[in-house]
Amino acid sequence: MIPTVFSARRIITMDPSRPEATHVMVSHDGRILAVGGPEDMQDRGELHHDDRFADKVLMPGFVEGHAHMMEGSVWRFTYLGHYDRVAPDGRRWQGITSTNALVQRLRDRAAELGDGPVVGWGFDPLFVPGDRLSRLDLDRVSTTRPVVVLHSNMHLLTANSVALDLAGYDENTDVPGVIHTEDGELHGELHEMGAMFPVMRRVGASFRAMGGDPEAIWNFARSACRAGVTTSTDLLNELGDEVLADLFATTADAGYPLRLVPMLSALALPPEAVAARAKELRAQSTDRVRLGGVKIVTDGSIQGFTAQLLAPGYHRGTDNGIWNIAPEALNVLVDDLNRQGIQMHIHVNGDGASLAAIEALEAALAGHFRPDHRHVLQHCQMADRAQLRRIAALQCCVNLFANHLYYFGDKHYEITIGPERACRMNPCASALEMGIPLAIHSDAPITPLAPLVTAWCAVNRLTDSGRQLGTSERIPLDAALYAITLGAAHTLKLDAELGSVEVGKRADFAVLEDDPHALGPEHLREVRVWGTVFGGTPVAAGSF
């Protein structure tokens, strides 16, 4: 088989021994054979030359260290979010800025579908001026078909009269979470899962419908390719037999261009069964499905007021902090998984949760130290420098939620945690200063899957309104590019295999129209992505 040499305007390798190149030679089975200039490609026998990227910039394929497969499935519903957003099929959806625009979009969608329920997602009433979206607005979409709008936080929905009627709700319903207007009529808004469940199950919008069927797995790869991503986590998966079978079968297709790293949900199994299951899964890994890691969810979210916060707690609003696992049970689980050599990804949003995880890891690692364990604190948005010092001492990694700075930063500053803590949240610079291995993430579909945007967030720390949150926690452009490639690969224990353009590694590249260094830190998010090279094969965005 003849190797291929790709030439490019510039290759940013992320390999300090050869930071830049213009040519990369790739074997027929998708490995990098040589990196350098044209002179380095000579005397290698017969070569196939591919110059289609001669005016483009190559980087290592981006690694998304914290996203969800739901990015691939939620688009079966109609997007109603505030920010413009691109669907897996490439369609650009404009942000919704008024109730009329929302009604019109759902009407169009209803016409497109012909019959049956109309479901929207991603709606955030705080961004829409005027009266809060109600049943009556959605009755303008249809008075014969159920219409349901899921809010962006997934804790609320608004339903039209038909949908409410399906669930048996009327003005006499006295159920927590079923909201009435001042004059006693149904408002249409339903709060929390209990009240939402009867409606969602009757319109086919259950969370099961947002799982990882083959179409969702393909869509996830479509979104990834548009963003230059060649490896992505699916950071919480119960990994039942049916799901696994779909994953293996779908990704086995020769044209499937994404390495998936699903994390087993530790809370889906009895605690003593988790390690054994993780090992069993690890043994089933393929080159496109990497198994063996475990995810533990501790608290909720900051913007949902369900994160566990230390004093002084939330700036405004009511503390509804939740534990998904009791701190004592966390200690036992973390100790067992560490002892058995399982890498853990621990979801901690609030500083109360990160403290609980740090304490659990301290106890576990004191009892059984494992060199290079790479346990990762995920999100870890509110850890202060004292917590970071303990994380550094434990030799853990952090994967910080840099996108929050832009997408939720104003809310954090004004409402959830106040100016001081908002300005030090997602402390990328402090983490690097302390030598903590750093990744940054999108948590797609919570925010868009786009590592260059995530890197822009970490570099500039600007909110939607243009406020800068914590100038001293900004990181340099190169540090951010490292975080979305080798940094993220490190947190997945895949850094020996991907994350940089080096001989022996997989030929997974992000193909960029613009040079990030030429556009500069402030314009990083404007870098256009052509697509990817996956295992040596070029894959244009939108081509599959």
User: What's the closest the beta carbon of residue 73 comes to other proteins, in angstroms?
Assistant: 11
Across 124-252, where does the E strand assignment appear? 147-151, 156-159, 178-180, 186-191, 229-237
Residue 464's closest CA among 404, 401, 394, 378?
404
Nearest approach in angstroms of CB 194 to other proteins is 3
Judged by beta carbon, residue 147 or residue 302, the one nearer other proteins is 302
Between residues 59 and 360, which has the closer beta carbon with respect to other proteins?
Answer: 360
Please identify, using beta-carbon distances, which residue of 47 and 332 lies nearer to other proteins. Answer: 332
Q: How far is the CB of 216 from other proteins (least distance, A)?
A: 13
Nearer to other proteins by Cβ, of 353 and 483: the residue is 353
Query: With left for phi above 0 and alpha for psi between -120 and 50, is residue 376 left, alpha or beta?
Result: beta
Gyration radius of the chain's alpha carbons: 24
Half-sphere exposure of 470 (CA within 13 A, CB side): 29
Judged by the rule CB under 8 A, the positions of this chain that interact with other proteins are 68, 70, 153-155, 167-168, 174-178, 192-195, 197-198, 200-201, 206-208, 210-211, 236, 238, 265, 267-272, 297, 299-301, 304, 306, 308, 318, 320-330, 332-333, 347, 352, 356
What is the Cα–Cα distance from 323 to 313, expressed in whole angstroms? 15
CA angle, residues 64, 377, 412, in degrees to nearest 5: 85
Pairing of strands 20-26, 32-36: antiparallel
Report the nearest approach of other proteins to the CB of residue 510 (Å).
Answer: 26
Q: Which is nearer to other proteins, 150 or 229 (CB)?
A: 150
Nearer to other proteins (CB atom), residue 178 or residue 400: 178
Nearer of residues 47 and 322 to other proteins, judged by Cβ: 322
* Least CB distance to other proteins at residue 237 (A): 8
Based on CB atoms, which residue is closest to other proteins, 267 or 423? 267
Q: How far is the CB of 300 from other proteins (least distance, A)?
A: 4
Cα–Cα distances in angstroms (integers) from residue 70 to residues 132, 255, 334, 355, 413, in the given order: 27, 21, 27, 29, 28
**Residue 382 or 458 having the CB closest to other proteins:** 382
CB < 8 Å & 24+ apart, contacts of 204-211: 204/116, 204/117, 204/119, 205/77, 205/117, 205/119, 205/148, 205/150, 209/73, 209/76, 210/70, 210/73, 210/74, 211/69, 211/70, 211/73, 211/243
Question: Cis link prior to 312 (omega < 30° from 0)?
Answer: yes
Per residue, the 3-state secondary structure of 250-293, as one string, reads: HHCCCCCCCEEEEEEEHHHCCHHHHHHHHHHHHCCCCCCECCCC
The answer to whether the CB of 506 falls within 8 A of the CB of 481 is no
CA neighbor of 128 nearest in space, from 150, 169, 100, 105: 100
CB of 201 to other proteins, least distance (A): 6
Q: Shortest approach of other proteins to residue 172 CB, angstroms?
A: 12
Cβ 178 to other proteins, closest distance in Å?
7
Give me the least distance between CB of 318 and other proteins, in Å please.
Answer: 5
Choice between 101 and 329, CB closer to other proteins: 329
Identify any residues that bridge with 529 across adjacent strands, giving them in sequence order: 512
